[in-house]
Amino acid sequence: MAMNDGGTSRGAEDEEALMKEWAAMAGDDAGGGDGGGGDAAGGGDGGGDMAAEWEAMLGAGDSSGETQAAVAKDATRVLNQDEIDSLLGFDDDIGGAGDKSGIQAILNSALVSYERLPMLEVVFDRLVRMMSTSMRNFTSDNVEVSLDNILSLRFGDYLNSIPLPAMLAVFKAEEWDNFGLLTVDSSLIYSIVDVLLGGRRGTAAMRIEGRPYTTIERNLVERMVHVVLSDLSAAFDPLSPVTFRFDRLETNPRFATISRPSNAAIVAKLRIDMEDRGGRLELLLPYATLEPVRELLLQMFMGEKFGRDSIWETHLAEELWLTEVELEAVLDEQVMNLREVLNWKPGSKFMLNATAESPIDMRCGDVAMFRGRMGRKGQHIAIQVDESTIKTG
């Protein structure tokens, strides 16, 4: 019992000694503050400021935690198709302005700069005018067709940039023996279906996502593709007659590969508006497809034809028939050295290896024209032509 009381008293003494030590340390700090005078007061104010700063940091931490919770809540929201297209840079509202946005602005370096084809722009302008009329007849509605832009890029980059769902029509240029691609976006597909099936005017076409296209929708889009290809053939007729034949209709870009991914291609982006409905139509022609008419597409205007002019061609042909030429009748040719030729004098004679019956060559310059026999007619020496030696082909 005594031992317990001793242990308890000893523990109390230790606590008391520890408290005195802390008090001494606090006294030293207070003494230092008193010795410092105004510095101690300043230190007190600094301590208050530091406490206020800690409190503000704690408050900011709480508010940032709330913000992170709100962001995490928003991150779980599912984006719709319009927001995805805007993020990727395929928004219809900004597409016509020519400004790149989203990921497309980052990948803008993938665009390829190739030689400019001035006549191709004329062909596409003709296509727009012809499509405006043919699409009005096809839909029996007021249709406006406009050309947004023409650009050059790699085929693989274009396939990766197609906003899905979409329909891709593969067609073949018969005379050029190569293929092209026609892309119809989802908005235009549903707009065409709505118009052709008697949808109410003045209302936007409903955009259905998450299901494959039906047979009716594919058949209606195929009819529209035939109309566009017919106008495209007519647009190329003044330059070079060509027939674009519809080959197949695909919904997966991988099945519409008509060229190597690294090959260059021309893409013309068309906008088709039908009152409050409409969409995009993109026409892709690889440079390999346009190679047979590349020289024609490089000319600046339709009548240039690289220096050829039908009026001047006709005039030149008529004048050529009136051109006077000099013909030479060669009886014989001999090879002699220069010494003998320089020793010739008036009265010198040399023998020819020809007789009166030897054939005579008639030449225009260095070109052999005819061959005949020499004779006499009246007071003149004449030559009767026996054969022509003009090389044809």
Please give the residue that has the higher pLDDT: either 46 or 101: 101
Residue 205 has a pLDDT of: 53
Lowest mean pLDDT segment, chosen from 167-171, 178-182, 201-205? 201-205
- pLDDT tens digits, 53-97: 666 665 555 555 555 555 555 556 777 777 777 766 555 444 444
Residue 41 has a pLDDT of: 42
| Cα–Cα distance, 99 to 101 (Å, whole number) | 7
Residue 58 has a pLDDT of: 55
Apex CA 33: angle with CA 28 and CA 39, to 5°? 155
Candidates 302, 88, 193; CA nearest to 293 is: 302
Q: How confident is the model at residue 21 (pLDDT cuts 50, 70, 90)?
A: confident
Alpha-helix runs per DSSP H in 2-139: 2-36, 38-75, 81-88, 92-95, 103-106, 118-139
Sign of CA dihedral 92, 95, 99, 103: positive
Query: Domain 111-307 classified CATH 3.40.1550.10?
Result: yes
Question: In this model, does residue 388 exceed pLDDT 50?
Answer: yes
This prediction has a pTM of 0.51
Residue whose tokens read 């291609």: 265
Tell me the average pLDDT across 190-195.
88
Residue 224 has a pLDDT of: 93
Query: Domain 324-388 classified CATH 2.30.330.10?
Result: yes
**For the purposes of burial, counting CB atoms within 10 Å of the CB of 149, is it exposed (0-12), middle (13-18) or buried (19 or more)?**
exposed
Tell me the average pLDDT across 194-198.
86
Residue 182 has a pLDDT of: 94
| Cα–Cα distance, 262 to 136 (Å, whole number) | 38
Lowest mean pLDDT segment, chosen from 4-13, 204-213, 359-368? 4-13
Render 193-257 in DSSP notation, one character per residue.
Answer: HHHHTTPPTTSPPP---SSPPPHHHHHHHHHHHHHHHHHHHHHHTTT----EEEEEEESSGGGG-
CB neighbour list of residue 176: distance below 8 Å, 6 or more residues apart: 242, 289, 290, 291, 292, 293
User: Could you tell me what percent of the chain has a pLDDT over 90?
Assistant: 19
Residue 180 has a pLDDT of: 93
Q: How confident is the model at residue 325 (pLDDT cuts 50, 70, 90)?
A: confident
Residue 167 has a pLDDT of: 92
Q: Is 42 helix (H, G, I), strand (E, B) or coil?
A: helix
Where are the domains positioned within the chain?
A: 111-307, 324-388
Q: How many Cα atoms sit within 13 Å of 184 on the Cβ side?
A: 26
User: Could you tell me what percent of the chain has a pLDDT over 70?
Assistant: 69
| Cα–Cα distance, 178 to 193 (Å, whole number) | 30
Please give the residue that has the higher pLDDT: either 116 or 163: 163
Q: How confident is the model at residue 42 (pLDDT cuts 50, 70, 90)?
A: very low
8-state DSSP, 107: G
Please give the residue that has the higher pLDDT: either 375 or 307: 375
- pLDDT tens digits, 237-289: 888 899 999 999 998 888 988 989 888 899 999 999 988 788 899 999 999 99
| Cα–Cα distance, 187 to 356 (Å, whole number) | 92
- Size of the chain in residues: 393
- pLDDT tens digits, 116-155: 788 888 899 999 999 999 999 998 888 899 998 888 888 9
- pLDDT tens digits, 3-20: 444 444 555 677 777 777
Q: Which amino acid is at 358?
A: S
CB neighbour list of residue 75: distance below 8 Å, 6 or more residues apart: none
